[in-house]
Chains A and B, each alone.
Chain A
Amino acid sequence: MKLIFEKHKEGRRGFSYGECDVASPKPLAEKYIRKNQAHLASLSELDVVRHFTNLSRFNYSVDTNFYPLGSCTMKYNPKFCEQITSLEGFSQLHPLLPQLSGGGMLAQGSLEVLYESEKLLCEITGMHAFTMQPMAGAHGELTGVMLIAAYHKNKGGRRKYIIVPDSSHGTNPSSAAIAGYEVIVIPTASDGYMDLVEYKKHLNNETAAVMLTCPDTLGIFNPHIKEIADLAHKVGALMYYDGANLNAMLGKCRPGDIGFDVVHLNLHKTFATPHGGGGPGAGPVGVNEKLIEFLPISRVVRRSDGTFALDYQKQKSIGYIAPFYGNFGVILKAYAYMLVLGKDGLISAAEIAVLNANYCLAKLKKYYDLPFDKTCMHECVFSAARQAKNGVHAIDIAKYLIDQGFHPPTIYFPLIIKEALMIEPTETESKETIDAFIKVMIEIARLAEEDPSAVTNAPLKMPIKRLDEVRAARQPDLSWKP
């Protein structure tokens, strides 16, 4: 499709602000004025609407396709949540209003949403307090690690290391490094769990924290999790919970009860807020009593008269991690979702998510290698190593699935699994949809044996074929030039 700039026609207008109702003042001095005009397309409103509407159609999305992208929890995003965020009372509220004298009363509705969301998340995770400020999961991780650093500093020692398993999300070691820690990576043992012997070897009083995903990125609940947490606590280290996989745990197990001290959640995963093509998400962080005093400024508090206010007086707080109170519009959708599901709905979400994943596992394990044959939680991780021997790699399977109308699973992650295919169906997908997906996956396994090129040539039905990614990186063309 043509770029929007290629549709430019001089003189066309898509929007006008009309006559300005005040007189023209003396212009700014020439030296402050831009000389080179921005090259932007001049288009009619219809040109613009048609352009982007057509672009929207060249995407797979949850609303159009099954999207079993492992670790991303691509569940259905209820429409009424979208409608609520567009209510003017929420969408037009300036974030600085409650910081004006007497302004707190102007934002009582939004402050209540934040306060109540924190309370619900505390109960769901077994934590004592939440900050809703982090604007994405990785941002929550960074916040969490900074809280850990503040905790150790307050105790009088700056510890050096953060431990992560080799199956962790890339954001874990990266967040730890950006917060100033050295990262120690623990391998996965042959049983599929983090190697306990190695773990014990590396754990010492220089360890600031252990960052884990639970269930882990193989979709498995580690039965040694409590022992891992107890060992960490014994040396004074803290336990960090990456909440990417919380969907499997709702009402079944709470990170706080296991002994995790800090958790981050991805509201765009477990709590059904849309992924937006890669954001905005929201990554609230919950803590137990040990860390409450370090939470970012500001905190939403409930006063004795029942009204809500913002508290900026926190001596030991790590400070500001976001300009305001987080991605409020996202938090609002998650709050609405939690209210509609309620206790039983949240438990069912976990149960059916786990049922769907195990169904995929059971139906496909004859056809694909299963590195760790265990009951899975919300996602199952296969390896296409068998198919790769015939030249059909995980990426080829992904492209063939695209031709069949399915968004592929996550591929090549976790990094420890060769040719990984990570399938997370989520609870909102029906048996019929999953059966159709399984049928294609079985067909691919057959083609890998009988006619590999039928898979490796895919996709054939998309507007484009496979792209030259090497060229994209070697000769970067990152913006349109006039």
Chain B
Amino acid sequence: MSYIPHTQEDIQEMLSAIGAKSIDELFKDIPASLAPKSFNLPASKSEFVVTQILRKLAAKNATGLVNFVGAGFYDHFIPASVDAIAGRSEFYTAYTPYQPECSQGWLQAIYEYQSIICQLTGLDVSNASLYDGGTALFEAMMMAVRATGRNKIILDSGVNLIYRTMLYTYTSNLSVEFVEIPVVHGQSSREELFKHLDDKCAAVILQNPNFFGAVDDHSDIVEKVHKSGALAIASVYPVSLGMLKTPGEMGFDIATGEGQSLGIPLSFGGPYLGFMAVKNELVRQMPGRIVGSTVDSDGKRGFVLTLQTREQHIRRQKATSNICSNEALCALRAAVFVSLLGKDGLKELAQHNYQKAEFAKEELSRIKGVEVKRSSPTFNEFTVLLPRHGDEVVHRMIEKGFACGFPLGRFYKGMDNYLLVAVTEKRTKEEICRLADSLEAVL
């Protein structure tokens, strides 16, 4: 099956219109010496057979575990209407809305998405989305380097290690200097951070809640960062913004984050949604597509891709970023998800997450030998000190039917006995109590 509608008759008619005797003749520019040395692929299979194969593979994945693993990627409930809208092929089989007159649906949806991101983050302008939270953070960092003409980055180690590692990869051939500020499963260390803040500093990058789940008010840091002439960048978890002080309220210049928690399935790591919002004055430094509102020749409101002179298809090697596409369909999911919830729903979602995580803390701290770290307040994720190696405990808990958390020893030296536990609104009281019972039993 190749989804080709041509009959033999069609092919003959078309060849004769072209003036060619055979299809092979159309490939005459490829020299015989460049014919494939091999093209040893399996034979075609029917849709039914392929579906069976993939169903079997899906069944080999153990998604039946009760999930307490987060670490930046969360198991939230997705209302059916999100799938229904994202499943409309008028949306998903379109491309980037280059032609506004026949793409108003997409353009308006993205404009609404941008507005929602501004509302969530408390910042002025959002782009049409980026690949994921990590690449969005890299783009934010590069914006700061461009905007300040400086190249030193202060990176709080409360920022997800995966993202920090990505920043190092992307800057390996650029002259960017990093200073990492240590965190011990709590809030950002002001003292350490301020020591490094000087007039060479392009940006300070913080995360809230940080990787250990710790909630912070970074306003004091942002104020000092601005005094040094640097930009403040926040990596944030959007669901938490139903409750927590926004990057805008703390004075951050740029907020980025992973939008997966807004109605996008975990799907083994992607596709996800990188979001970015900035203060007005940085808009022309922003990477990626941006949709703007304007009017048509009758004065009627309409939407277009705008400020394109920043972009690679016009500026080529001088562009603000090499990014061409965005993650539009994921941005649409986020827009539908947040619109369904509304401000009350978003607050409720944040509250349930907070409430259940606090309950889990109580339950887990009852276990002998388990210590729930309480040096900072947390949102829906927290660290637990175990009496034995985290890897070992996680392994045993899998056998009990739980993905009980993420062992911090994987990412942080000296934290072998620590576990990072995430509790979303999907976890029931009963599941949390069973988690505690099972943990007690395996220790």
- State whether the Cβ of A459 lies closer than 8 Å to any Cβ in chain B: yes
Contact between B61 and A467, CB atoms less than 8 A apart: no
Tell me which residues across on chain B come within 8 A of A94, comparing CB atoms: 67, 69, 73, 75, 266, 268, 403
- State whether the Cβ of A137 lies closer than 8 Å to any Cβ in chain B: yes
- Identify the stretch in A198-206, A230-238, A382-390, A422-430 within 8 Å (CB) of chain B at 4 or more residues: A422-430
- State whether the Cβ of B234 lies closer than 8 Å to any Cβ in chain A: no
Contact between A469 and B304, CB atoms less than 8 A apart: yes
Tell me which residues across on chain A come within 8 A of B316, comparing CB atoms: 170, 173-174, 183
**CB of A359 to closest CB in B, whole Å:** 5
Q: How far is the CA of A37 from the CA of B330 in the complex (A)?
A: 24
Q: How far is the CA of A38 from the CA of B248 in the complex (A)?
A: 11
Q: Which of B77, B104, B271 has the most CB of A within 10 A?
A: B271
Contact between A23 and B326, CB atoms less than 8 A apart: no
Tell me which residues across on chain B come within 8 A of A479, comparing CB atoms: 111, 114-115, 118, 124-126
Per-residue interface assignment for chain B, residues 323 to 334, with 1 indicating a CB less than 8 Å from any chain A CB and 0 otherwise: 111111110100
**CB of B92 to closest CB in A, whole Å:** 4
Q: A89-B61, A278-B325 are in contact. Are A99 and B410 (CB under 8 A)?
A: yes
Q: A91-B267, A100-B403, A427-B2 are in contact. Are A336 and B61 (CB under 8 A)?
A: no
Per-residue interface assignment for chain B, residues 38 to 55, with 1 indicating a CB less than 8 Å from any chain A CB and 0 otherwise: 111111111100110111
- State whether the Cβ of B211 lies closer than 8 Å to any Cβ in chain A: no
**Complex interface residues of chain B between 278 and 328 (CB less than 8 A to chain A):** 283, 289-298, 300, 302-304, 306-309, 311-319, 321-328
Q: How far is the CA of A78 from the CA of B93 in the complex (A)?
A: 10
- State whether the Cβ of A313 lies closer than 8 Å to any Cβ in chain B: no
- Identify the stretch in A105-113, A284-292, A442-450 within 8 Å (CB) of chain B at 4 or more residues: A105-113
- State whether the Cβ of B414 lies closer than 8 Å to any Cβ in chain A: no
Q: Which residue of B lies closest to A179 (CB)?
A: B173
Contact between A22 and B429, CB atoms less than 8 A apart: yes
- State whether the Cβ of B172 lies closer than 8 Å to any Cβ in chain A: yes
Cβ 8 A contact of B88, one of A56, A78, A136: A56
Tell me which residues across on chain A come within 8 A of B100, comparing CB atoms: 464, 467
Contact between A38 and B336, CB atoms less than 8 A apart: no
Contact between B394 and A126, CB atoms less than 8 A apart: no
Per-residue interface assignment for chain B, residues 342 to 382, with 1 indicating a CB less than 8 Å from any chain A CB and 0 otherwise: 11111111011011101100000000000000000100000
- State whether the Cβ of A197 lies closer than 8 Å to any Cβ in chain B: no
Contact between A277 and B96, CB atoms less than 8 A apart: yes
Q: Which residue of A lies closest to B57 (CB)?
A: A109
In order of increasing CB-CB distance, the 6 nearest A-B pairs are: A324-B269, A89-B58, A342-B44, A280-B271, A95-B269, A276-B329
25 cross-chain CB contacts under 8 A? A22-B359, A53-B85, A61-B90, A62-B93, A78-B47, A93-B61, A94-B73, A95-B269, A95-B270, A105-B62, A135-B132, A146-B169, A253-B34, A279-B328, A281-B325, A327-B270, A329-B268, A342-B42, A355-B14, A359-B18, A468-B297, A472-B304, A473-B306, A477-B294, A480-B112
